[in-house]
């Protein structure tokens, strides 16, 4: 009864909890709005949105450095630390109708008119409760419709995404316009899901208001028992109406819980898939499938971002030597990042441009410029793969043992 009494105040109980959830969802919706068009994601869009980070894990203390190169590469050498795993990440789904128990409104029994002032109030309260029951039916039907719409949008999204993945797996051209169009369709489906979340919030607010009205009716019924001038029939009708109101509160709480869970689930789903689409956009740009999405791994990390010390003196996660034009490093870089984020989802990375010190002053200056340009290229590739720019730091260094421009990626 304590929980019921708290909910009678519009600023407390279910309404306050719902308003807090609505405010949180609004913030998340802004954060997961994502790119409006794939052209921005593929050809010069802004920095990737920061994702939630988690507590630091543990990376292997000793990593063996083994050179690796792509058989299709135009040259260059790529070194990675340790053994690289397979793909990571995954995708979630949104269920449609069928997961919610049927919402059955409470039948409000009619009562005879005794002619007393108390009975007049009873009739007013009975009418008010009947109106609330009608609202419950309407809101439950709207929730079912929104769930059906969410299921259809999720199906359309995954169909477009699966087709893109299949084409990339089989091999296709870089920036294939057909895949660009399908990517835009997937993006549109996620936009529809975001609108569905907003509609769910509106229904939840309406149900929370009904909860406040129902608790007010219950309080008024309890107060009516103490009003003088009532006959026994009036108290009998008040008792029946009180039972019906308590049953209505249970139904409303069930409906409010269903909506709250749907909002939280769909908000997390859309946020995860926005990050996955960013990685998929980079794959379309390069015409090859990297693997599992990095965004899903990072969004799965809980907790605040950790402060990482720079690992500039340690073993690089990846070393890319740009000793020839057209070095194909993206796939190996992606796999190395996947390994690091799988071990420590909240990790950050240092991208270091390393240039040799041999030759004349002019040659050294040219080598430094080339190394910085390559570092910016690697930086852009990492953000395209779904790593937030806030997790990355670019710097430069020299190495007398280097024979060409290098980019070294460290975990921090």
pLDDT tens-digit readout, 99-133: 455 677 788 888 888 889 999 999 999 899 999 99
Whole-structure pTM value: 0.54
Locus of tokens 């995860």: 272
Choice among 34-43, 128-137, 267-276, 402-411 with the minimum mean pLDDT: 34-43
With CA atoms as reference, report the closest residue to 186 among 205, 213, 149, 159.
159
What residue ranges do the domains of the chain occupy?
2-31+92-286, 55-90+307-411
Measured between alpha carbons, how far is 304 from 108 in angstroms, rounded to an integer? Answer: 50
The span from the CA of 220 to the CA of 241, in Å, is 11
Say how many Å lie between the first and final Cα of the chain, rounded: 52
The CATH code of domain 55-90+307-411 reads: 3.30.1330
Residue 315 is encoded by which pair of tokens?
A: 């073993």
Over 70: is that where the pLDDT of 262 sits?
A: yes
The share of the chain scoring above pLDDT 70, in percent, equals 69
- The whole-number pLDDT of residue 9 equals 43
CB 263 within 8 A of CB 197: yes
Phi-psi region of 130 (alpha: psi -120 to 50; beta: other; left: phi over 0): alpha
Q: Mean pLDDT, the chain, as a whole number?
A: 74
Structure tokens at 335: 């796999």
- CA gap 403, 129 in Å, rounded: 82
């Amino acid at each position: 009864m304590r929980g019921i009494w708290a909910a009678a105040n519009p600023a407390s109980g279910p309404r306050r909890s719902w308003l807090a959830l609505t405010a949180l969802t609004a913030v998340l919706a802004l954060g997961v709005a994502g790119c409006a068009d794939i052209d921005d994601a593929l050809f010069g869009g802004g920095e990737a949105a920061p994702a939630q980070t988690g507590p630091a894990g543990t990376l292997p203390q000793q990593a063996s450095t083994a050179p690796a190169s792509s058989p299709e590469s135009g040259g260059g050498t790529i070194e990675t630390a340790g053994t690289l795993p397979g793909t990571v990440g995954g995708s979630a789904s949104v269920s449609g109708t069928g997961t919610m128990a049927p919402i059955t409104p409470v039948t409000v029994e009619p009562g005879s008119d005794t002619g007393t002032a108390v009975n007049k109030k009873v009739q007013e309260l009975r009418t008010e409760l009947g109106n609330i029951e009608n609202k419950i039916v309407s809101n439950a039907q709207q929730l079912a419709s929104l769930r059906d719409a969410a299921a259809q949008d999720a199906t359309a999204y995954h169909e477009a995404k699966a087709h893109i993945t299949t084409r990339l797996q089989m091999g296709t051209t870089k920036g294939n316009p057909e895949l660009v169009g399908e990517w835009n369709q997937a993006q549109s489906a996620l936009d529809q899901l975001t609108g569905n979340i907003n509609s769910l919030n509106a229904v939840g607010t309406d149900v929370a208001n009904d909860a406040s009205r129902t608790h007010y009716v219950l309080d008024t019924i309890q107060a009516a028992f103490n009003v003088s001038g009532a006959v026994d029939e009036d108290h009998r009708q008040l008792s029946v109406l009180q039972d019906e109101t308590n049953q209505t509160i249970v139904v409303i709480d069930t409906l409010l819980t269903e909506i709250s869970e749907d909002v939280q689930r769909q908000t997390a789903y859309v946020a995860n898939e926005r990050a996955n689409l960013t990685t998929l956009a980079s794959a379309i740009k390069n015409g090859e499938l990297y693997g599992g999405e990095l965004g899903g791994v990072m969004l799965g990390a809980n907790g605040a971002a950790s402060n990482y010390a720079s690992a500039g003196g340690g073993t690089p996660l990846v070393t890319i030597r740009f000793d020839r034009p057209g070095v194909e490093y993206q796939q190996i870089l992606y796999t190395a990042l996947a390994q690091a984020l799988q071990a420590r989802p909240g990790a950050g990375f240092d991208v270091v441009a390393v240039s040799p010190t041999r030759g004349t002053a002019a040659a050294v200056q040219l080598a430094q410029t080339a190394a910085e340009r390559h570092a910016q290229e690697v930086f852009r590739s990492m953000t395209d793969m779904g790593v937030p720019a806030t997790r990355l730091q670019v710097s430069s260094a020299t190495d007398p043992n280097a024979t060409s421009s290098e980019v070294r990626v460290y975990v921090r």
